[in-house]
Every structure is written in C-alpha cells, then in structure tokens.
Amino acid sequence: MFVAIAFIFFVIFLRLGYIQIVWGKKLQTRALEQWTRDLPVTADRGDITDTNGIVFASSGTSYTVYVRPNSVSNHSLVAELLSQALKLSYQDVYDKVTAKISENTIKRKITVEEANLIRSYNLEGVYLAADTSREYVYGDFLSQVLGFVSSDNTGQSGLEAYYDKYLRGVDGAILTPSDLVGKELEGESAYYTPPVSGLNVVTTIDFRIQRVVENVLDLVMQGHSPKGARCIVVNPQTGEVLAMSSKPSVDLNNLPRDNIGELMASTKNMLITDVYEPGSTFKVLTAAAMLEEYARGNPKAHSASYVFPNNANFRIVDGSRVKCWTTHTSSKHCNQNLGDALNNSCNPIFTDIGLSLGKETMYKYLSAFGYGAVSGIDFAGEQAGLLVAESAVTNGDLARISFGQTIAVTPLQLAMATSAAVNGGLLMQPYLVKEIRTQEGELVKKFYPTVRQRAISEKVSRELAGLLENVVTNGSGKQAYIEGFKVGGKTGTAQKYENGHIAVGKYVSSFVGFFPADNPQYLALMLVDEPTGAHYGSTVAAPYAKMIFQQIINYKNLKPA
C-alpha cells in the first residue's frame, strides 16, 4: 500500500516537473495573453531611395485611437469628445465605445495635432498607439515604380510590394495588465516591446535623370495632347534602370482608394505590364539577325554593303500587299543597302530580309533578344509579350514581324533588346534595386548586373551600333542629333488596332536612342501614345529623347568626342 501511494506521488511529481520545464514558457505566454491587453506599436517602414541616397518614400508618425469599453466610466462624454476631435459620427463612436468587446479601434492614421487634443482630455479607457504613415516625398514622382501601401503599411504594388519583406519591419506592443473582461488593473505596470524598423531599399534610379524624364514627359503631354507618354532610361552595359515614368501619373499621397479600378489603372507600370506593336524600332532586331547570320556564313543573309535589287515600294506576300510608308518615285529608297534601309525605315527591305532568313532563323533571334519571355526584372506583373506560335507563322506574318507588326512587346523588352544589339551583344537582366541597407547604413544585400545570354557577337554589335549612329546623323533620327556626341537610334511609328482592325488616326510614336554609340552608357526609349496632329516618331518622339540626352550630358558634365 505504502509503495503504491509513493509511486502515485512520484508520478505526480514527474508530471509537475515536466509541465514546469517543458510547458513553462508556453503557459507563461498564454497567461500573459489572458491577463493583458496589447496596443500595437507599428514599426517604421524602411526608406526607398535613389542610387545616391535621395529619399523617395519614408515613414512619418501618426496615431491610432483605441477604446476599452469596460474601462470607460462616461460613455456619452467619451463619444462626444472623440467624435468632435476626429470629425466622426457621434453614433458611430458611441456604438464602438459601448460595444461588448474588450477593445475597439476608433480611428487610424490620425495627426499629431489630433492626438495631442485627445491626450488633453485625459479620458479613461481611451488609448493612443504610435503608428506610422507612408509619405512620398515628391508626390506623383516615380509613382508607378514606387507603388503604394495599404492602411496597415503592407506593400500593395510596385517596389513597395516586391520588397515588402525587407521594408516592413517588425511591430512592437504595449502590454497593459487587465482583468478577464478587459478592465485595466490599478497599480500594475505596462510592458513595452519595442518595434524593429524595416530595412532601406536603394534603387538604381538616378533622381536627377528621373526628374529630367518626368519634366520632358510633361512637355510631351502639353505639346501633343496624347493619351499617354512613357519613357525608360537604362544603362545598356549593366541593365540598371536609371529612370522610368508614365504620364498621366498619380499622387501617391492622395490615391483614389475608394475607386479600386481607378487606383489600379493609375498605378500600373505600363512600361512593364502592357504590350504594343513596336513598329520600326523593331527593325534593329531584323538588321542584327541579318548581320549575325552573314558573319556565320548563312548564304541567305547579306553583308551591310549588299544592295537590295528590288526598288519597288511594295511586296506581294501571300496575296497581300506590304507597302513602304512613302512612294519610291524620283529615286527615293532605290538601290538601298542595310544602312540606307535603316535610315529610310523602308518596310519592303526588311520584308526581304525576314523572308530570306526564314521563320526558324527569325524566331531564333526573337528568343536570343528576349522576346516572348519575361526579362526577370524585380517587379511584379511583367508581361512576356505576344508572339504568333512559330508553327502557325505564315509568310505574311513573318513579313510583318520583320518590320515590327504582328508582334506585341513591352517597352522594357524593346529597351533591353536594343541594349543587347549595341552593348557588345549581351542581353542583360534589368533591375531596379541595387542594395538593401539597415537604418544605420550597413549593407545587408547587394544586387549585381546579370547576363541572361549572348544575342549576337561583339563585332556585329559594333557594326550595328555604327549603322544606327548614321540613322541619327543622316536618317530619320536626325532630330535626336547632338553636335559632338555619338548618338545612335531608330524611329518608329506604329498604327494601333481596335477590335482586330486598324484604328484610323491612332498611332504609337516612338524613338529608341543611345549614346555614346561606340560604347553606350545610356539608352532611352520614348513612347507617345496617340499624339494629336503629327504622329511620326521622328518628329514626336526623337526630339524629346534628345532633350533627355542633353540634360544627362549637362548633369554628368560629359565632354564632346
């Protein structure tokens, strides 16, 4: 009997020891949760800066008002004072103050002035918790790239969403001892768990180049009254995005949050998420394919000096007429080599090139230059573009693809493909963020240039860059010419389609340019969507790319060659 009783006590002792040692921490936490009420302390979100540390987005201080109904002695007075201070309905506040719950939120994101006024009332059961609000220093500047956050400071779009895990930090709390019904216990001290601030995101964007692009796009909108205007500036050697903007833009400090459709449309980064028919800017790829295939000994390809024998201003392909943008009378567009065809932007010559190379070869270069696939940029929602399946391509399709029709690409794809054509032949992965740093400036993570693949040889790339420099010096890109600087480029004017038919009078006018042509460090793609009046890329887009390049030259204090 004695042994049995002793054994029972021994088992109980072991059980108590197990509970204390193994479950102790967990039970302590559960007890603390049952006998405390916590007020959150929101962590400061990390800053988003330009490549030189200029702040684009930061965290400001705001407050959240809470009420613990069981701790309120005069519900009517509290409801009256809070509704007046916060400009809220008395009945709505009264309902929250008298609710049968332990804690209720009255209003978030109140100002410092409102918080000080509520403090002065010294109301029982009313608490203020420090909160943070996102502040965008320049309003509608870089808005589609930065994105925005939700009311609880979680990234919803743009870089705010993509890098949310670095930016958001860890919230803290103020734990107040209370009874089971949520009433604060007298004489007990509160516990404070400090928040941990988020990390800072350092972008590749150069504030001064971005400002130039924003201002130039404003001039485009004023001068041509288009549906929209967009521009991207990249470093062709590294893939760094130096500037990226779309107009119209939106003030990130005053978003239309009550209209989800408008909110998403106004914050969408169309340079990455939307596609368009590129028109003649795409001829850079067809020219690259011909030169590279000639260098590899393909008998269906020609050298840059080869003179195309057919001087007609049209070709008949699969029973359809493919025309040049102008007549070939008075010896215009006659006896052209590749350089002439690029200068004149002559569709029939690029039709000849595409059909001669064939769809298998052309599709090989579409893939080599990144078309039909996402670029891998650090941004959500990127589109891969639209290509006709190679197995379904007709000669008519191939003819039009060769000069930038029957294919849809993103502006980013075209910018990176053109970069590959002139930077020595390497297709780079574009990126928007170069570093993650602590609030104290310590480096946490660094991002480096990434080569996706080789598109063409270095020799062919140099040759093509020279031909495109001549387009600006002597051809359709003359309005981008800058005395003393080697600027290359290609114009484009593409008709828009609606419901499967050409939309009369609607065009996307574009120019892709780069400098210096013999070692490109800057490449800009300018797009003007449905300009009013003049619509050729040579007159609507090229002059504005020139403005951007001139301002970069001044900013960097570059000297003429």
Residues with active-site annotation: 280
DSSP-assigned states of every residue in 347-404: HHHHHHHHHHH-HHHHHHHHHHTTTTS----SSTT----B---GGG--HHHHHHHTTT
Helix (H) or strand (E) holding 40: strand 36-41
3-state secondary structure of 239: coil
- Three-class secondary structure of residue 325 per DSSP: coil
For residue 408, list its beta bridge partners. 386
Nearest to 284 by CA among 451, 104, 425: 425
| CA–CA separation, 104 and 203 (whole Å) | 39
- Residue 124 backbone class (left: φ over 0; alpha: ψ -120 to 50; beta: rest): beta
Whole-angstrom distance, CA of residue 51 vs CA of residue 116: 38
Give the CB-side neighbour count of residue 117, counting CA atoms within 13 A.
12
Give every CB contact of residue 534 below 8 A, 6+ residues apart in sequence: 224, 540
CA proximity to 346, closest of 330, 358, 332, 366: 332
Q: Rounded distance, CA 200 to CA 53, Å? A: 10
**In whole angstroms, what is the distance from residue 236 CA to residue 111 CA?**
45
The 3-state DSSP class for residue 538 equals: helix
Tokens at 2, concatenated: 């004695």
User: Distance between CA 262 and CA 276 in Å, rounded?
Assistant: 21
Element of type H or E holding 265? helix 260-267
Query: Which DSSP string corresponds to 42-61?
Result: PPPPPPEE-TTS-EEEEEEE
Question: Could you tell me which residues are beta bridge partners of residue 502?
Answer: 497
Which H helix or E strand runs over 529? Answer: strand 522-529
CA–CA distance from 27 to each of 20, 33, 190, 191 (Å)?
9, 10, 20, 18
Q: Which residues contact 150 (CB under 8 A, 6 or more apart)?
A: 156
Per-residue tokens: 392: 């379904």
Closest by CA to 410, choosing from 547, 246, 252, 288, is 246
DSSP state of 190: P
Residue type, 455: A
3-state secondary structure of 304: coil
